[in-house]
Amino acid sequence: MQLLKMAWRDLGRNRRRSFFSMLALAVGLALLLMMAAVVQGEMRDAMTASIKLQSGHLQVRDADYNPDKTSLKWEDLIEAPGTVAAQIAALPQVEVATPRLYASGILAVGDTTVGVRVNGIDPASPANAPFREGLIDGAFPAADDRDGVLIGKALAEKYGLSVGDRANLMANTSSGTVDEQVFVIRGIYSTKTPSFDEVNVFLPLAKAQAFTGAGDRASVVFVLLKDRDAADAVAEALSGDAFTVVTWRQTNELLASFEQFSGAYMFVLYLIVLGITATVIINTLIMAVFERTREIGIFSAIGMRGGRIMAMFFAESGLLALGGIIMGMLLGGAIVLYIATYGIYLGSMGVTGVMIGETIYAYLTWNDAIMLTVMAFVISLLAAVYPAILAAQMQPVEALRGGK
């Protein structure tokens, strides 16, 4: 306690310098809290979007189906998918199960062509809520619609399309050929994920099956669970010789790898930023050592051991760290709260293969907040090592002479 009182008194000798040392640590910590929250929010929202829009919590596929080839061969598809989906939906852990048919396609608008992914969906399924709720113009195609197509906002804006326009859609078929038909743009949706909206078009499942020659078959049964942590257990229960069951972790391996890479990169960045702020504390304490040379000499002369002198400087560094951390948490918390509420608008910027929304919202976890706080405190204490050793190694006589 006595050391803390002495440290508090010593810091008060030059309040401006002490304040700016705390402020430097506070700004560094606030910056890191913001960065951690933005990255965490970005990864969290990307995973949520991927599950809702594309992967589901589970995908049930035919054992021979290869999603990379988007095969439409009958032997690669699930036969009578409606029946299979109904059986899966009966499980207590399942929220919704619906068949979907995927095909590679080309949308021709005038002299322009663009590659798209054709999605055959059951319009009545609750799994399609993101597209139905994201409808910004026109109508959602009905199950018996034979010439209507739903396209994304990003695709419509890029090629100047609007509801009622006609576009020629070509798609591969189960026989290995390409079929084409003129479709009317029935509606335009937005999931606020431009990378998805620009390449995905939707047809009623019955029309997609007839268009591609798939018959009563589907590429996958798309499954959403009440609790995504139950994915492995449900997948094991559904696995068999006829079907392959893939969990959301497996279908989002790229995103998981990207998250791990960003985590490692951010940790290094944390150390760099905190290291820079630590130099301010080092400078403050070194200046304090030279300003108090005579005082340190007197302490040594009356019998204060080097370890206690070092402890005094560690106490000063700890108080600087404590003040900087409190200020940093308040400043960083305010910044994170603002970004969590209003977000950072990115528009169509993004990473290929990662479903990043047009607006990123911050999400700060307790783990990140505690980790950064502990790192800031520890690095601040480490910053006191050199000044403390410098003070402890001073010889009393030389220190007294140097302080004159």
Co-location of 109 and 39 in the same domain: no
**307-336 mean pLDDT:** 87
Per the structure, how many domains does the chain have? Answer: 2
CA–CA dist 79, 249 (Å, integer): 26
Between 25 and 18, the more confident residue is 25
Task: List the domain range (segments joined by +) for residue 26.
Answer: 2-50+255-402
pLDDT at 194 over 60: yes
Q: What is the per-residue pLDDT for 404? A: 46
Domain contains 10: yes
Q: What is the per-residue pLDDT for 299? A: 65
User: For residue range 259-296, what is the model confidence (pLDDT) as tens digits?
Assistant: 777 777 888 888 888 888 888 888 887 877 776 666 66
Co-location of 388 and 306 in the same domain: yes
| Nearest by Cα to 389 from 265, 285, 319, 263 | 285
**57-63 mean pLDDT:** 92
CA–CA dist 224, 130 (Å, integer): 13
CA–CA dist 270, 31 (Å, integer): 9
pLDDT at 387 over 90: no
pLDDT at 205 over 70: yes
Domain contains 233: yes
Most confident of 223-227, 256-260, 346-350: 223-227
Co-location of 129 and 278 in the same domain: no
pLDDT at 257 over 50: yes
pLDDT at 246 over 70: yes
Q: What is the per-residue pLDDT for 328? A: 93
The band of 11, judged by pLDDT with boundaries at 50, 70 and 90, is: low
Percent pLDDT > 90 in the chain is 49
Give the contacts of 87 (CB within 8 A, at least 6 positions apart): none
User: For residue range 66-97, what is the model confidence (pLDDT) as tens digits?
Assistant: 887 888 888 999 999 999 999 999 999 999 99
Domain contains 55: no
Which of the listed residues 213, 240, 267 is the one where a domain comes to its end? 240
Co-location of 222 and 278 in the same domain: no
- Report which secondary-structure segment, H or E, holds 381: helix 366-382
| Nearest by Cα to 4 from 392, 317, 381, 298 | 317
Co-location of 294 and 321 in the same domain: yes
Q: What is the per-residue pLDDT for 30? A: 94
Co-location of 98 and 25 in the same domain: no
pLDDT at 10 over 70: no
User: With contact defined as beta carbons under 8 Å apart, do 138 and 188 qualify?
Assistant: yes
Co-location of 103 and 231 in the same domain: yes
Domain contains 293: yes
Which tokens in the block code for residue 36? 């951690």
Which of the listed residues 183, 205, 240 is the one where a domain comes to its end? 240
Which of the listed residues 181, 215, 240 is the one where a domain comes to its end? 240
Q: What is the per-residue pLDDT for 394? A: 65
Give the contacts of 130 (CB within 8 A, at least 6 positions apart): 52, 53, 191
Domain contains 248: no
Co-location of 92 and 114 in the same domain: yes
Q: Which burial class, exposed, middle or buried, applies to 109 when counting CB atoms under 10 A from its CB (0-12, 13-18, 19+)?
A: middle
Domain contains 87: yes
- CA distances in angstroms from 332 to 26, 30, 201, 274, listed in the order given: 8, 4, 41, 14
Domain contains 249: no
Three-state secondary structure readout of 238-301: HCCCCEEEEEHHHHCHHHHHHHHHHHHHHHHHHHHHHHHHHHHHHHHHHHHHHHCHHHHHHHHH
Co-location of 236 and 276 in the same domain: no
CA–CA dist 314, 10 (Å, integer): 12
Co-location of 105 and 30 in the same domain: no
Co-location of 230 and 267 in the same domain: no
Average pLDDT, the chain: 86
pLDDT at 303 over 50: yes
User: With contact defined as beta carbons under 8 Å apart, do 206 and 244 qualify?
Assistant: no
Q: What is the per-residue pLDDT for 14? A: 72
Q: What is the per-residue pLDDT for 390? A: 77
**144-164 mean pLDDT:** 92
> Hey, which residues does 163 pair with through a beta bridge?
none
Domain contains 56: no
CA–CA dist 340, 361 (Å, integer): 5
Co-location of 13 and 94 in the same domain: no
Q: What is the per-residue pLDDT for 351? A: 53
Total residue count of the chain as it appears in this document:
404
